[in-house]
């Protein structure tokens, strides 16, 4: 049957109605002429009328339903485009690209495809406080569905500026100590995410450095003077150094010139080693740092894969590629209706030890076979 009632069923009913009207007229004439036949004919008319009314009701219900049923091509609602904004504190480089590629692939695994049903906004503050303020305001003006905030400083900026837009942080040190969340289990407000803080991380870093460089006599902790690593990294490194019988030096830096001066000074000190903070400022100066440590033959340990892949000696820390993948899954849950306060902060669960054997040879170190056997990856 067609939606406009022009099908064969409707034509059949119309024909039947016409016939019934004729019968009524004939019945009326017959009753006038022959009173005895009137009762019989009236009963028959009543039965026919009721039958016709039932068929008419069913027809109208069906036809009306057909008319009201939405046409699939017209009624299908288009999926709204969702916006995800990401603000990096440092500069864009190969290391950062690997992390954000993991985030994008994670979202795609949950059906969120860039250019199809999501828009991804990337901005880089380039370690500039003014740009951090400017770009964070720009992002808030866009009213994204979710903000991804790498590092404590970026996360803290958005926590201060919005209590409504969901924020998922990544690569944050201690989110409770820094005031980002109320607790790991119950973050509160509109923010949650993934921490890279593990209490024994710094201690293990010093132990690995001593193992790869048995002649180590002192270790310097190099960090961004404007960062937050000194608040929880330094004491742990100092305690580990004391336990191993080596000296500890606290060495904050604020620019590339100070990095160069510090590493050059290390090169003039026998048995000196370096622990480099895993901060955006250090990642932005990755090439400078690894070049200088090789030139001055300084054994240095880092906390991210990007450094060893870029020419550093050894790294031990949270697998940030995995962390960004997991962050994508949290973004998916929020886009599907979960509230950030209902998603607990995740502590790091996957660590990786990466050794650059080529660099070890260049600076005159022989990596113990036992350490090589524990490595997740050895760069030849």
Dig out the tokens for 17 from the structure: 């109605």
Predicted local confidence at residue 230, as pLDDT? 65
Low-confidence ranges of the chain (pLDDT < 50): 1-18, 20-43, 45-47, 49-50, 52, 59-77
Predicted local confidence at residue 48, as pLDDT? 53
Measured between its terminal Cα atoms, the distance across the chain in Å is: 75
Average pLDDT, the chain: 84
Predicted local confidence at residue 284, as pLDDT? 87
Contacting residues for 263 by C-beta, under 8 A, at least 6 apart:
274, 289, 292, 293, 296, 298
Task: Kindly list the distances between the CA atom of residue 109 and the CA atoms of 113, 114, 206, 325, in Å, as whole numbers in the listed order.
Answer: 9, 12, 38, 10
82-198+322-342 and 201-318+350-379, same CATH topology: yes
The H-or-E segment that residue 355 falls in is strand 351-356
What are the helix and strand counts (H, E) for the chain? 16, 12
Predicted local confidence at residue 55, as pLDDT? 55
For residues 275 and 234, is the Cβ–Cβ distance under 8 A? no
Q: Residue 197: how many CB atoms within 10 A of its CB?
A: 20
Predicted local confidence at residue 80, as pLDDT? 87
Nearest to 251 by CA among 231, 225, 270: 225
Q: Residue 217: how many CB atoms within 10 A of its CB?
A: 14
String of DSSP letters for 163-232:
SSS-EEEEEES-TTTTTS-S-SS---TTEEEEE---TTHHHHHHHHHHHH-TT--EEEEEEETTSSHHHH
Predicted local confidence at residue 272, as pLDDT? 97
Top-tier CATH class for 82-198+322-342: alpha beta
- 201-318+350-379: CATH, from 3.40.640.10, 3.40.50.2000, 3.30.1360.30, 3.40.50.2300: 3.40.50.2300
Q: How far apart are CA 60 and CA 99, in angstroms?
A: 61
Predicted local confidence at residue 78, as pLDDT? 61
- This prediction has a pTM of 0.74
Predicted local confidence at residue 44, as pLDDT? 53
Taking the domains of the chain in order of start, what are their residue ranges?
8-74, 82-198+322-342, 201-318+350-379
8-state DSSP, 324:
H
Predicted local confidence at residue 282, as pLDDT? 92
């Amino acid at each position: 049957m067609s939606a406009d009632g022009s099908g064969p069923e409707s034509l059949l009913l119309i024909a039947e109605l016409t016939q019934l009207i004729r019968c009524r007229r004939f019945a009326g004439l017959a009753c006038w002429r022959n009173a005895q036949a009137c009762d019989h004919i009236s009963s028959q008319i009543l039965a026919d009328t009721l039958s016709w009314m039932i068929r008419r009701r069913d027809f109208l219900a069906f036809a009306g339903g057909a008319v009201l049923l939405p046409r699939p091509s017209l009624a299908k609602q288009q999926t709204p485009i969702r916006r995800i904004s990401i603000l990096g504190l440092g500069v864009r480089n190969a290391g950062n690209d690997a992390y954000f590629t993991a985030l994008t692939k994670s979202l795609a695994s949950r059906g969120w495809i860039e250019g199809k049903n999501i828009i991804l906004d990337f901005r880089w503050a380039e370690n500039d406080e003014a740009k951090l303020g400017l770009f964070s305001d720009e992002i808030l003006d866009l009213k994204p569905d979710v903000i991804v905030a790498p590092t404590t400083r970026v996360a803290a900026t958005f926590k201060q500026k919005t209590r409504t837009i969901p924020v998922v942080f990544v690569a944050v040190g201690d989110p409770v100590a820094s005031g980002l969340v109320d607790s790991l289990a119950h973050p509160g407000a509109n923010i949650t995410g993934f921490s890279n803080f593990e209490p024994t991380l710094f201690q293990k870093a010093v132990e690995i450095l001593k193992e790869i460089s048995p002649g180590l006599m002192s270790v310097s902790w190099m960090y961004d003077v404007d960062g937050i690593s000194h608040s929880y990294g330094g004491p742990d490194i100092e305690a580990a150094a004391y336990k191993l019988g080596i000296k500890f030096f606290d060495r904050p830096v604020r620019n590339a010139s100070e990095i160069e001066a510090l590493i050059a000074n290390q090169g003039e000190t026998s048995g000196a080693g370096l622990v480099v903070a895993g901060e955006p400022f250090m990642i932005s100066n990755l090439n400078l740092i690894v070049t200088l440590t090789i030139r001055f033959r300084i054994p240095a340990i880092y906390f991210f894969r990007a450094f060893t892949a870029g020419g550093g000696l050894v790294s031990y820390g949270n697998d940030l590629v995995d962390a960004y993948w997991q962050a994508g899954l949290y973004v998916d849950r929020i886009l599907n209706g979960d509230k950030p306060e209902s998603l607990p902060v995740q502590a790091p669960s996957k660590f990786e030890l990466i050794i650059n054997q080529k660099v070890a040879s260049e600076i005159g170190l022989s990596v113990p076979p036992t350490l090589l056997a524990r490595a997740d990856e050895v760069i030849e």
